[in-house]
Structure 1
Amino acid sequence: MNISLIIKKWKRPILIVLMISLIQVTVFLVFYLQQNKHLPEQFFQLARSLATAFTQTEVTDQEKVMSKTFTLFQGDHAAFDFNDLKEAILAAKKSPRTASIRLTKEDRTIWSNDDTKKESAAHPIVDAPYLSQLPELPRGCEVTTLAMLLQYNGFTVDKMTLAHEIVKDPTPLTYDSGHNMRWGNPYKGFVGDMYDAKKPGFGVFHKPIESLARKYAGQQVMNLTELDFSDITSIVEQGIPVWVIVTSTFTQDTSRSVKWQTADGPIQTTRNEHSVLLTGFDGTYVYFHDPLRPAEKSSRRAASTFEQGWNQMGRQAITIILQNEKIVDN
């Protein structure tokens, strides 16, 4: 048993309990002195008010300390607690030892860098519901994939509802005298027309999708954007599906490169932008639900080339981590 790690983990909660006990003793002494006419009534009232406020603050802090969602393990020893999965992963990757991240209230691993365990583990494909974006949403891959993620986690919402609710950037497509494009910002909202492929349209990136997902799943939504692809596949290996943005060719793709100006700066990307739900990884291939391929519930591509397309699109990824059983909203 590593005593130093235990002391580090419980040092703050113990100090909080001691502080609360000290406050209670102080209040008792003030009350005793007041009863024996050694303190003015006004001083007693002030002391009691301050003590009550401070006690409530400290109890709240203690509850926050005790309610962290994720615990970082270094080897078999609990080291630190986090509420954000991305933050926990970044901390784990700095550890000189083999590390894993588990749900604090459950004995369930969410992420691990222990390659020996990965090699011996089975690689099941998540049985997530499959939805096609067609024919209603020719450009609605992002919200359709989000609907699959939400439905898998027990939230009863359909793609058309999400298509209506996603924030839109209404900036129209225009060109200046030099034929330079000016359009909306996909980091702020859906750009262009989602319903009619004959009209100008592009798509939406992770930030508006995260905000929409939180409308249903709240703080259980985890934005993993900018992590390494190995971090994403590690999570998928634990049976947790992940929403991602990738090129529609699932590899590095410069065939339809495009650049335009927004009110916030330039966007440089490819028109072959797509969103799928990662459902499995076997060390060589990634498996996913592609909302554009209704005949193929589960597709697969070589992880090495898929990663190239994912990197090109900004390493965007979102998932939902439920702490207990999947929630069904009525």
Structure 2
Amino acid sequence: MLQIARSLATAFQQAEQTVTQPKVMSKKFTVYQGEHAVGDFDDLKEAILHAKQASHTMSIRLTKEDRTLWSNEDQKKEARKLTIVDAPYYSQLPELPRGCEVTTLAMLLGVNGFSVDKMVLAREIVRDPTPLSYDSEQNMRWGNPYKGFVGDMYDAKKPGFGVFHKPIEELARKYAGQQVMNLTDLDFSDITSIVGQGIPVWVIVTSTFAQDNSRSVKWLTADGPIQTTRNEHSVLLTGFDGTYVYFHDPLRQAGKGSRRAVSTFEQGWNQMGKQAITIILQNEKIVDN
């Protein structure tokens, strides 16, 4: 009887472990060489960097939908069919003269089904409260836009600059979670490939949408120097046809559906540190372990 009892107890424990065993989420993105899957990734940027190591025709698809998000074949085409993403348009003015980054984020969230007012995002964005000052040698000292918004967002008469990709990513994740993808440091051809698939992308660019050294500025932060231009801006990329990139510009009255030549826009984007964020909607597929 004792042996039977022990056997029953062991069987019960095994059954309990089987029932409580956690489910495993499938990877979000699958890299293909032609039509053959060669790798799975949770992060779109990592998937792109992996695919770019190959000299073959490569593509990246949403694992659960088999929908293409990026392809190196796209980058070889000089002209392509234009698809403009029907994203909501919001102006940063008059409330946020320096609020282009959060206003553009509101557009990115909105097109993906997360309705958040720009003023809410303006209150929620992390700030670096370091005041503008000058040391005895007249070196400018200020906050770090990689850590939080620098300066005043609401009053253009007060010192202010803006915020870079990391705090924006963190704020976006509050609403869209792990569906937020930071694409910073990729090539612009990678960004336009994604936009060409109908996926809008938040970017930082110069306000002239070209290389711009007219208002160069350098200051010291607690983490090191920042060297950039005061003509910093953020827009939402909504389309690409091989010659022009199309975008929503929150600063201009006719900002919806603006366009600029890719060659010059890319220069301004590179100058601002190749910053880009998007949201890839997906329903996680759960598979038994």
Match of 2:231 among 253, 272, 275: 272
Q: 1:132-143 alignment to 2 at 5 Å? A: 132-143=91-102
In percent, how many aligned pairs have the same letter?
78
User: C-alpha deviations, 1:8-27, integer Å up to 9, x for none?
Assistant: xxxxxxxxxxxxxxxxxxxx
When you count strand as a share of all residues, which structure comes out higher?
2
User: C-alpha deviations, 1:171-207, integer Å up to 9, x for none?
Assistant: 1001011110111010110000000000000000000
User: C-alpha deviations, 1:196-236, integer Å up to 9, x for none?
Assistant: 00000000000000000000000000000000000000000
The CA deviation at 1:122 is: 1.8
The CA deviation at 1:53 is: 9.0
Q: Extract unaligned runs of 5+ from structure 2.
A: 284-289
CA distance in 2, matches of 1:208, 1:222: 13
Instruction: Give me the TM-score of the superposition, normalised by structure 2.
Output: 0.91
Q: Is residue 279 of structure 2 the alignment partner of residue 320 of structure 1? A: yes
Match of 2:220 among 249, 261, 282: 261
CA distance in 2, matches of 1:117, 1:105: 27
Q: Is residue 83 of structure 2 the alignment partner of residue 124 of structure 1? A: yes
CA separation of 1:36 and 1:143: change in aligned 2, threshold 3 A: closer
The residue that corresponds to 1:34 in the other structure is 3
The CA deviation at 1:301 is: 0.7
The residue that corresponds to 1:90 in the other structure is 49
The residue that corresponds to 1:108 in the other structure is 67
CA distance in 2, matches of 1:33, 1:252: 82
The residue that corresponds to 2:189 in the other structure is 230
The one-letter amino acid paired with 1:217 is: A
Match of 2:142 among 167, 170, 183: 183
What number of residue pairs does the alignment pair up? 283
The one-letter amino acid paired with 1:213 is: A
When you count helix as a share of all residues, which structure comes out higher?
1
CA distance in 2, matches of 1:183, 1:120: 44
CA RMSD of aligned residues (A): 2.3
The CA deviation at 1:323 is: 1.8
The one-letter amino acid paired with 1:225 is: T
CA distance in 1, matches of 2:113, 2:40: 26
The CA deviation at 1:68 is: 0.9
The one-letter amino acid paired with 1:130 is: Y
The one-letter amino acid paired with 1:125 is: I
Q: Which has the higher contact order (CA 8 A, sep 6+)?
A: 2
Larger radius of gyration: 1
The one-letter amino acid paired with 1:251 is: A
The residue that corresponds to 1:149 in the other structure is 108
CA distance in 2, matches of 1:311, 1:211: 22
The one-letter amino acid paired with 2:119 is: M
The CA deviation at 1:107 is: 2.4
Match of 2:156 among 197, 217, 223: 197
The one-letter amino acid paired with 1:122 is: K
Instruction: Give me the TM-score of the superposition, normalised by structure 1.
Output: 0.80
> Does structure 2 retain, via aligned residues, the 8 Å contact 1:243–1:276?
yes
The CA deviation at 1:296 is: 3.3
Match of 1:68 among 24, 27, 34: 27
CA distance in 1, matches of 2:176, 2:253: 26
User: C-alpha deviations, 1:228-255, integer Å up to 9, x for none?
Assistant: 0000000000000000000011111111
> Does structure 2 retain, via aligned residues, the 8 Å contact 1:131–1:294?
no
CA distance in 2, matches of 1:133, 1:116: 33
CA separation of 1:193 and 1:220: change in aligned 2, threshold 3 A: same
> Does structure 2 retain, via aligned residues, the 8 Å contact 1:247–1:272?
yes
